[in-house]
Amino acid sequence: MSSTEKAGLPRRSVLCGVLVALAVPGGLAACSSGEPAQTGGNTATGAPTGGGAPTGTTSAAVIAALADVPDGGGLVAGNPATSKPLVLVRTGDTVKAYDATCPHQGVAVTPPENGTITCPAHGSQFSAADGSLAKGPATKGLTEVGVKVEGDQVLLA
């Protein structure tokens, strides 16, 4: 039994926490002093690339810069509202988002490749076009999360 399990934290919970912290840009910095993190950001405008809305725009939470989401593909990013990962899928200026948690056993899926989002744990596959289940062992598709593109940012809707 590890020391984290003796302290009441199962190893899986600790690993999941570490993975979420790594998946969310500046995730640990957001838990600090309340001052904005000075890491990253758009060097041309000084606007943050994630974690908050740029000055002078909407108050909706920024998920990612549009330029960071590959056209015809996507990426996994943190959901600033829930701290759960989202998989973003981009076609031109349109971005869709799905809860990146596989409904089979809660493992974070990978970014889409060739129109397919895959769970690395057991191979479940989902359509990048609509999140629907393409191949199990999952028994349902990914849950869509409302997002919008405003300027050069992807925001929660």
Question: For position 79, what pLDDT does the model report?
Answer: 85
- The reply to whether 51 falls in a domain is no
| CATH code of the domain in which 128 resides | 2.102.10.10
Question: For position 21, what pLDDT does the model report?
Answer: 43
Using alpha carbons, select from 66, 82, 91 the residue that is nearest to residue 23: 82
- Distance, CA of 126 to CA of 90 (rounded, Å): 15
- The reply to whether 49 falls in a domain is no
User: 62 and 17: one domain?
Assistant: no
Question: Around Cβ 14, how many Cβ atoms within 10 Å?
Answer: 14
Do 95 and 128 meet the contact criterion of CB atoms below 8 Å apart? no
- The reply to whether 72 falls in a domain is yes
- The reply to whether 95 falls in a domain is yes
83-135 tens-digit pLDDT:
889 999 999 989 999 999 999 999 999 999 999 999 999 999 999 999 999 99
Structural domain of 86: 58-157
* Measured torsion, CA atoms of residues 127, 116, 96, 94, in degrees rounded to the nearest 10: -110
* Number of structural domains in the chain: 2
Question: For position 91, what pLDDT does the model report?
Answer: 93
Question: For position 60, what pLDDT does the model report?
Answer: 77
- pTM above 0.85? no
User: 66 and 11: one domain?
Assistant: no
- The reply to whether 42 falls in a domain is no
101, two tokens: 């948690």
User: 75 and 141: one domain?
Assistant: yes
- The reply to whether 41 falls in a domain is no
2-31 tens-digit pLDDT:
444 444 445 444 444 444 444 444 433 333
36-80 tens-digit pLDDT:
333 333 333 333 334 443 344 446 789 999 999 999 999 999 988
Residues 6+ apart with CB under 8 A from 43: none
> Which residue stretches of the chain are H helix?
3-6, 11-23
User: 15 and 77: one domain?
Assistant: no
User: 72 and 21: one domain?
Assistant: no
User: 68 and 137: one domain?
Assistant: yes
DSSP state letter for 4: H
- The reply to whether 5 falls in a domain is yes
- Distance, CA of 109 to CA of 123 (rounded, Å): 10
| Region of 64 on the Ramachandran plot (φ > 0 left; ψ -120 to 50 alpha; else beta) | beta
